[in-house]
């Protein structure tokens, strides 16, 4: 699982565009600044107004966000404090040729592993093709700006790897990794064909969070970009939810060099996925102990209240059915659902579990099969996406109706949550893939486009 703003120096950043296929104008204020690892100051002076604008949005000190003339970003330094000329390899590129030549330069210098360099080149071309699908007249600028910053962050982490704690709080300064992820995925979303189901429930969640309640979203999981997709669809109406959500994240998005920079920008509870727990037999015990630490961290945070946690009980991303190529939410694991439910119920704080459906696999589908190796191919497209949430389901009501609640209730509750997710998913599928739009709404799933 990946499971993803200040005044510009000279021009506005690309998030405000003019074509019909592009995104809404979103400007949100942010509050997080805590981090668990000291990193060197990123970003030297930049090369032209468009990229300078993009970087300034993510670099400006939060305390000076109200100023119309922010101070220029600091020069990049190494961990020892020395200015790093190498960190400017990608940020100084003014053309596609220079950007790709930077990959070759760092690979030949031995500073960039060949496998990572090949992945970066492939990612560039796939991202470029997807952004150009949008028809945005500034697509070339968007691609160059976003990919230069992405390459810089990837290279930066290869040189100075970030280490995630069991709980990781989004790194927002001196470089704003959250906005980096938002701005990178934003051009891939076709907002004309995107929808949110039951938006009123997100307002209900905000009220409960303000009262100190805990909220858990049990969702299917489709792409590494899921956190960014969720946040992009909610940032216009529920920015606090968009920013403050904590994602239960598998270890692969914490170690893949092309994925790590996006993970750094999200609040994460880091775990080892069941699907990869036994990939390396000698590490199984270490992984289990690490998961126990993460579970304790989650329990501690739930006891404090006002937590908003997203979890995919399937243990991984959805895949298409082999024979039909149709995409549907993967079945939920009963033990994962029950463990989360018991954590919420035993926290000593009121808690609520909402079933959530997410449809976004077209943006960045996973490989057809689960892969053990790190470094999957990133296929990227411009497409409509959707999410929907439904009212919570009472475990006690289900248990009361069971003849043998100790044995049956867990399975029945898991299936009930999954069925609601599937129901919402089918509505989103009708709206987006069958082109029914808002008319796909049902009595239980009311679709809207809250950015309009």
d(CA 106, CA 93): 14
Q: How far is CA 407 from CA 67, 112, 395, 398, 399, in A?
A: 60, 53, 13, 12, 10
Residue 100 in 3-state DSSP?
helix
d(CA 128, CA 130): 5
Q: State yes or no: is 82 an active-site residue.
A: no
Contacts 24+ apart (CB under 8 A), 411-414: 411/334, 413/337, 413/338, 413/341, 414/313, 414/332, 414/333, 414/334, 414/337, 414/338
Q: How far is CA 390 from CA 284, 355, 446, in A?
A: 36, 6, 10
* Exposure class string for 397-431: b at 16+ Cβ within 10 A, else e: ebbeeeeeeeeebbebbbebbbebbbbbbbbbbbb
The residues facing 214 across adjacent strands are 351
Which residues have C-beta within 8 Å of that of residue 309, sequence separation ≥ 6?
Answer: 214, 215, 216, 217, 245, 246, 247, 248, 269, 298, 302, 340
Indicate which residue of 140, 160, 279, 333 is catalytic.
160
d(CA 55, CA 37): 21
Q: How far is CA 116 from CA 107, 110, 124, 250, 336, in A?
A: 9, 12, 12, 20, 33
- Nearest CA to 181 out of 172, 194, 193 is that of 172
User: Contact 381/338 with Cβ under 8 angstroms?
Assistant: no
Neighbours of 446 (CB within 10 A): 17
**Largest pairwise CA distance in the chain:** 70
> Which are the catalytic amino acids?
160
């Amino acid at each position: 699982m990946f499971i993803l703003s200040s005044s510009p120096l000279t021009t506005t950043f690309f998030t405000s565009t003019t074509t019909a296929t592009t995104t809404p104008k979103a400007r949100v204020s942010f509050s997080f600044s805590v981090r668990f690892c000291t990193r060197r100051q990123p970003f030297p002076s930049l090369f032209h107004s468009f990229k300078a604008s993009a970087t300034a949005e993510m670099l400006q000190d939060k305390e000076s966000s109200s100023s119309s003339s922010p101070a220029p970003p600091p020069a990049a330094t190494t961990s020892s404090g020395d200015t790093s000329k190498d960190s400017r390899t990608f940020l100084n590129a003014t053309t596609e040729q220079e950007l790709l030549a930077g990959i070759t330069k760092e690979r030949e210098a031995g500073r960039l592993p060949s496998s990572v360099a090949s992945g970066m080149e492939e990612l560039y071309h796939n991202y470029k093709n997807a952004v150009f699908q949008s028809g945005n007249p500034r697509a070339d600028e968007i691609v160059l700006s976003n990919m230069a910053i992405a390459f810089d962050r990837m290279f930066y982490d290869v040189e100075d790897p970030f280490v995630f704690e069991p709980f990781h709080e989004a790194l927002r300064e001196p470089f704003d990794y959250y906005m980096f992820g938002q701005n990178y995925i934003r051009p891939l979303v076709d907002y004309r064909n995107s929808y949110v189901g039951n938006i009123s429930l997100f307002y209900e969640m905000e009220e409960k969070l303000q009262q100190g309640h805990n909220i858990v979203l049990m969702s299917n999981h489709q792409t590494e970009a899921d956190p960014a997709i969720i946040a992009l669809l909610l940032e216009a109406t529920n920015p606090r939810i968009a920013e403050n959500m904590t994602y239960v994240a598998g270890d692969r998005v914490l170690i893949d060099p092309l994925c790590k920079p996006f993970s750094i920008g999200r609040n994460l509870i880091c775990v080892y996925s069941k699907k990869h727990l036994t990939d390396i037999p000698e590490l199984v015990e270490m992984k289990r102990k690490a998961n126990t630490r993460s579970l304790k961290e989650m329990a501690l945070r739930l006891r404090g209240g006002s937590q908003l946690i997203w979890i995919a009980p399937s243990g991984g991303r959805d895949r298409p059915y082999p024979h039909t190529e149709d995409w549907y939410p993967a079945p939920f694991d009963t033990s994962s659902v029950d463990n989360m439910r018991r954590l919420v119920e035993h926290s000593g704080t009121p808690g609520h579990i909402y079933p959530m459906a997410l449809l976004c696999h077209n943006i960045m589908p996973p490989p057809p099969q689960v892969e053990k190796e790190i470094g999957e191919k990133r296929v990227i497209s411009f497409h409509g996406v959707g999410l929907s949430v439904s009212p919570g389901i009472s475990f006690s009501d289900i248990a009361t109706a069971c003849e043998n609640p100790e044995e049956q209730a867990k399975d029945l509750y898991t299936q009930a949550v999954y069925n609601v997710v599937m129901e919402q998913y089918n509505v989103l599928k009708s709206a987006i893939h069958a082109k029914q739009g808002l008319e796909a709404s049902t009595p239980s799933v009311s679709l809207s486009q809250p950015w309009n």
